Structure 1
Amino acid sequence: MRLIDLVPPALRRWAVALVLLAIAGAAAGGAWVAQDWRYGKELAEQAGKVDQVALKRAEDALAKLAIEQDKRAALERLLQANDATHYKELSDAKKTQQLLSDRLATADVRLSVLLTTGPLGGAGLSATASAGGVVHGPTRGQLDPAHAQRIIGITDAGDQGLIALAGCQAYAKEVSTPK
């Protein structure tokens, strides 16, 4: 006895059609699963490649960032050293100016200027001789201490400006020089 004989003759056509439909459905389902597996594998490989490329780019970016951070740190150290140098120059100049100003105030030192013509009654002679020696050379006139203080203040401001300018120029040169 065959399997087909178990089905009533009126339903045999439907049974054969149902069996063929089941076989076709199973084949389609199997093909679907196989294609899904292949496509999934292909997508996984593609995603792995994309991940590797992204990882490589990230590592390259981190390496470049580390290099730039090292450059920045070196530049900051150099600028800090330049700032310290210019600050020391500025403070030394201020100390020198303050010392000179104090000496002018206590009359330890007097400022004098060269005169282009001799004193009116001196007939072109040099400044008068002191008890310790004779003054030779061009005729000089002494400045009033208040005027000397103003001159020292002006030169102090000029010195500070020149030192600040030198610091700015060194900074601009260091920052603008390509490395």
Structure 2
Amino acid sequence: MKLDAVKWGGSLLLTLGLMAGSAWAAWEWQANAHGLRLAIKETAHLTERTNLGNANSEQIMAEQGKRLALEQWLAASDQSHYRALTDEKTKQARLRDRLATADLRLSVLLDATGAIRKSSRQVSLRLSADSASAKDICFIMAQAFSSWSRRIAPVFSEFI
């Protein structure tokens, strides 16, 4: 009986060992297969994310290009505006200098076209720029206008 117990014990031990070995082999095989599937999915996910990142990078680069073009256009526009402003200031300074040195005569024409009298009156005032200041010019123009208004006032009073 002892021999039978040892035979049964040995066969039981051998069966348990084979079962444990096959369970371990199945476990390893499934882990490798599952790991392979996970690696494939991870690679696909990584590829998808890389493509998405590249697309976003291209979009950002395109927007930066548009922004750079807009900044350059604004700078050119600002530069041309500044150049035009500077040119006008230069023209104004040149004209002021010409007036100050009497290279140019100041001419003021008052046109008193009378629709009532059917005749036109013109008062021409020519002054040398160095001899007349703006105050003098305004004073002379006011005198010319007052004398003109005194001459035209009786005509208007006929219609009132």
TM-score w.r.t. structure 2 length? 0.64
**Of 145, 148, 172, the match for 2:133:** 145
**Of 33, 55, 73, the match for 1:78:** 73
- Offset of 1:142 from its aligned partner? 6.2
**Identity of matched residues, %:** 34
Q: CA 1:12–1:108 in structure 2 vs 1: closer, same or farther (change >3 Å)? A: same
Tell me which of the two structures has the higher relative contact order, counting C-alpha pairs closer than 8 angstroms and 6 or more residues apart.
1
**Of 24, 29, 33, the match for 1:38:** 33
Q: CA 1:147–1:36 in structure 2 vs 1: closer, same or farther (change >3 Å)? A: farther
Q: Secondary structure at the match of 1:139?
A: strand
Q: CA 1:142–1:19 in structure 2 vs 1: closer, same or farther (change >3 Å)? A: farther
Whole-Å Cα distance in 1 between the matches of residues 76 and 134 of structure 2? 38
Deviation >2 Å, runs of 4+: 7-17, 103-117, 140-148
Q: Secondary structure at the match of 2:56?
A: helix
- Offset of 1:109 from its aligned partner? 3.1
Question: For residue 132 of structure 1, what is the aligned residue in structure 2?
Answer: none
Question: For residue 173 of structure 1, what is the aligned residue in structure 2?
Answer: none
- Offset of 1:110 from its aligned partner? 4.6
Q: Which structure's CA Rg is the greater one? A: 2
Q: CA 1:12–1:102 in structure 2 vs 1: closer, same or farther (change >3 Å)? A: same
Q: CA 1:91–1:147 in structure 2 vs 1: closer, same or farther (change >3 Å)? A: farther
Q: How does 1:29-68 map to 2 (within 5 A)?
A: 29-68=24-63
TM-score w.r.t. structure 1 length? 0.58
Q: Greater shift after overlay, 51-60 or 38-47?
A: 51-60
Residue segments in structure 1 that go unaligned for 5+ positions in a row: 1-6, 118-124, 127-137, 149-179
Q: How does 1:14-163 map to 2 (within 5 A)?
A: 14-115=9-110, 138-141=122-125, 144-146=132-134
Q: Give the total of aligned pairs.
A: 126
- Offset of 1:65 from its aligned partner? 2.1
